Structure 1
């Protein structure tokens, strides 16, 4: 049967959403809006690219889906927390996310901050409580996600992005920013699938997967920058022109719109070349790379 990325994405979205819903029930407290804000932040839409990468990389390497649920949910929780904080007035000050009011608009700023904090710790609780993993595998997953999320990964990228506002930065600097801000979690998603496989000691397979993840991580940001100019707010679910209003350095600003599109295609080819080094059928990962550089939302 011919592979369908759209069907695969929907199946994995439904799987991780159902798992997150079930796991979050234990945090419900009628006396606090925190639970509602956490649910709102993590379950209100989203493509679930990072969980898809955890599941698809793991499946590629023979890992059962049930062994990947906690890891997929954990990385989506980290991603959701980052978006909540990214949207805050002190950061990007956005009012729209996934076609809905941002968390601090739907609730209030303090509740949004706490929801983000709680989703971050929830991610690591999920990994610690995973009944399918050995202690060594749990440590590997926690280490991978913590490194990608913190001061050597996503948080560093966010900090550098804020520092770059109202400044002209070089292409190398821009890539350094987004390799951390966007790319670090995408790389972590691939590695979290890899870590649980029988190939976890194979450095050649690991490097090929890392190269793929680095390419699609940057391509994701390039396409985001393009959509900030040409996107439809009803499709992308967030404010068009937000980067320009904050005077951010972007790929279209540095390369021009056509140059940015060419950059995305070059990164796409790098991703395919990396997957072609693997002795497996990597159709889902190739299809995702194509989706990333051609999406309109």
Structure 2
């Protein structure tokens, strides 16, 4: 029987690339978009249902899930793909923008996940894949909010994996490292809030360093989509899949890549019981 995945953030970038890839590999796809006009090019695919979904609105979430189940009979996997990065000096970022970062990257993921859990439980199994970032395992200046939200998503995902394992519901993470080329990412555009004059020199130097890093390390949305597909189909209980310059991709060396990535932070990580040994 064909499997079905619900993928959020399918208007562009990683989400759209993942929707196309899963559909081309025989999956049914509920392609969730934030705006009604989103998902151009996906609607003509027979095994794709484009559904409006506001991850902060429970009614909108429920309607998208019900539409997917009504079309395909069930949903087997959820791919949360939150794409939002607030770039700038923490001191200069307004409070509402701080809340916005966590709303999109963390609370929206929690809302969609919570809504699908009863369906997964009724199915007797389920899979949740959260697209995170290398910023979830190391930090950089001028991305304090982005890093904080991704670190929170990491902690949530790892703890949730342990909570749901007894119910045969797996949780995994895919971490693009260095940013995805062709994806609009405010944390790399350099359009953050204007800093205080005290930071001017630091901001100029940091922006220049980021520009060089982004050009050298960016991975494509297609690369990340392939990692998402591997995570959905490899049949393992592996927790993390790193993709990018330091991650080395999501293939057989991915477990070693996870160890390399984890060592870029001074925090000692205790691996989840279902994480691949390295």
Structure 1 length-normalised TM: 0.32
Q: Larger % of strand: which? A: 2
Taking structure 2 as the reference length, what is the TM-score of the superposition? 0.33
Q: Pick the structure with more helix per residue.
A: 1
